[in-house]
Structure 1
């Protein structure tokens, strides 16, 4: 066996490792679930999954002041990406920008009444898709462990 064949075999072994496989399952499942949610939200509510995530963030604590910068950080979007997204949402009547009372350079974003109504409709659609593709396939006894483990992974990534 020459050096090239040895490297190819070693690469194949690494590509077929248990960790690569398991992580691939997680990514595929998350990606496919996100696609299912996005398709259902667009079809039934005229809303992208990312717009829905903005509305979740804005509706979670109604009295909290949320800046565009904070939204960008929370949703891991660039400042130009969040600006374009909020522009589209504002044009659709889902959110409005208001000046920050504490910082003239900062702009706050809040849901409109229409945005809240669309969010409620979208939350029901989201819940149906999540129930069908995330909750139902997992045995009831394993679901709590799954969500607890996902929380631990998230904390490790956030803290690390």
Structure 2
């Protein structure tokens, strides 16, 4: 067997390994689910899934103002990415920014009344999509097993 054939066979084994396949399936499934949710939110509520994620974070504690930097961390966005997203949300009347007391470099973000209303509408749309595409295809036992396993993976990533 020449080197090209050997390398090709080794590469094919690696590309077709169970770990590569299973991880690819996870990423493809998560991406398609996110696309379905994003499409439903845009069509029915006029907001993106990313905007919805910001509103989730902002609506968790009534009256809380969240530092924009913390939003970026929570949503795994870059500083410029969260700035552009919050800019669009501010233009849409969903959020407002206020200077952080005692820290001129920090900006706080809070939902507007329109943001709260949009969030509640989007939460219902999101819930329907999650039920249809994430919960319903599985038995209750499989769903519990899946979410428990995802939680364990998430914790392992936080620790390591």
TM normalised by structure 2 equals: 0.97
Query: Post-superposition shift, 1:105?
Result: 2.0
Q: What do residues 38-94 of structure 1 show as CA deviations (whole Å, max 9, x unaligned)?
A: 000000000000000000000011243311111111111111111111111001000
2:103 match: secondary structure:
coil
Which runs of 4 or more aligned residues in structure 1 lie more than 6 Å from their structure 2 counterparts after TM superposition?
A: none
1:104 match: secondary structure:
strand
2:96 match: secondary structure:
strand
Match of 1:17 in 2: 17
Match of 2:96 in 1: 96
Gaps of 5+ in 2: none
Q: How many aligned residue pairs are there?
A: 160
Match of 1:51 in 2: 51
RMSD after superposition: 0.9
Query: Post-superposition shift, 1:108?
Result: 0.2
1:105 match: secondary structure:
strand
Q: How far, CA to CA, are the matches of 2:98 and 2:104 in structure 1? A: 10
- Map 1:10-159 onto structure 2 (within 5 A): 10-159=10-159
TM normalised by structure 1 equals: 0.97
The question of whether the paired residues in 1 share the 8 Å contact of 2:68 and 2:108 is answered with yes
Query: Post-superposition shift, 1:99?
Result: 1.4
Q: How far, CA to CA, are the matches of 1:62 and 1:80 in structure 2? A: 26
Gaps of 5+ in 1: none
